[in-house]
Amino acid sequence: MAPSIRLSPAARSLFDQPLAIAVQGLGPRQQVTLRTSLRDETGELFQASARYQAGDDGELDLARCPALPGGSFSGLEPMGLLWALQPQKPFWRLVKRDVQSPFLLQLEVFEGHGERHGRLLAQAQHERAFLRDGVRRIPVREGRIRATLFLPPGEDTFPGIIDIHGLGRGLFEARASLLANHGFATLALAYYQFEDLPQEPKELHLEYFEEAVNYMLQHPQVKGPGVGLLGFSKGAELSLAMAAFLKNISAVASLNAPVAVTLIPLSYKDKIIPTVTLYEHKAKATNSKFLDYSDVIDDPFQAPGNQSRIPLEKGEAQFLFIVGQDDRLVKSEYYATEVCKLLQAQGKENFQILSYPGTGHCIDPPFFPLYPIGSHPVFHKQAVLGGELRAYSKAQVHAWSQIQAFFKKYLT
């Protein structure tokens, strides 16, 4: 019997779901190298490989066989060939712009464990999709709002979540589309550098975000009385500000948030919150040639930085702070801990912190590759974002399930 790759699900799976990988038809205890490849929408290549030995029966099941040393990872890691994907172009981030098309994953089995791959024994293709069958993608251009709404299948009402990204350009739909597969009506909201939104805003107005909240609550398929917010980095900062100043915010999941206003002042009605000061000279050199910027932000819990702090104690929402202990862009664990102390001092218990070791600034849904070095949004130099491959892959999976459980608890 010729070797063949067996996948479950066979042809197509959702990007955030596990994929079972096995090889059959090998020789007893045959040594092979497995390689996965994926090209992003710009054509950039991501690859991972691992060395294995088949069982006495010529079967190789990644759920039971550990990877041997010498590849992208070792040990029993059934999803290692996905979470260990790394760009061939240094410091390149895997981004999904068109969620209506899947990523195409290539799997190959090569003979032996050499530095150069041996003979190709088997290959397969698999689609990693972002939309479950029946999920509707609806562009939203209402009033000032520039967004995309994802609705789960059916005519029911669903808990509503607004998903706000960090300081990347444009509209990011990947996380919102994946959440909709799990039963949430999710609005991916752009706030600058998209269509007719400001390119370089001098100020961000909370009224814009309030319009998005009202849009969701007026939608016939969004279950009230409040909405949830899921924000990353600058988007998490904005989500916290929305919870402090706006009505009808029930739950906020914050991924590595500054708890003070950064980079762009924030206004609501007649109030303006100024930005916290950044001190570039406080950037630290690392043993790589990249800088660690985690200390450049003025401490929002000490004067004079505290006029920029978001007054979270005014918020009535439930807060879930998800922080990477190795975040080198924002001192997110310190911020979350200090802000929860303030809430506790006011007799509040509306918060929880999930803190992940070996996890940096970027916390994406499961199986997105680690992105440990990126451009600093202000200083435009390559910055250490932090994170370590295996620890981060575990954090992604755990945090993603916790985010869903949190919203199910507080939005239904």
Query: Which residues are known to be catalytic?
Result: 233, 327, 361
Phi then psi for residue 290, to 5 deg, are: -105, 155
**What six digits make up the tokens of 106?**
């290539």
Q: Which of 365, 285, 402, 384 is nearest to 327 (CA)?
A: 384
Q: In this structure, are residues 355 and 319 in contact, taking their beta carbons and an 8 Å threshold?
A: no
Residue 391 has a CB neighbour count (10 Å cut-off) of 18
Distances (CA, A) of 262 to 274, 296, 377: 8, 11, 11
In angstroms, the CA 340 to CA 342 distance is: 5
Residue type, 303: A
Those residues with Cβ within 8 angstroms of residue 293's Cβ, 6 or more apart along the chain or in another chain: 283, 328, 329, 376, 379, 383, 384
**Beta-strand relationship, 158-164 and 222-232:** parallel
Q: What's the burial of 183, exposed, middle or buried (CB within 10 Å: 0-12/13-18/19+)?
A: middle
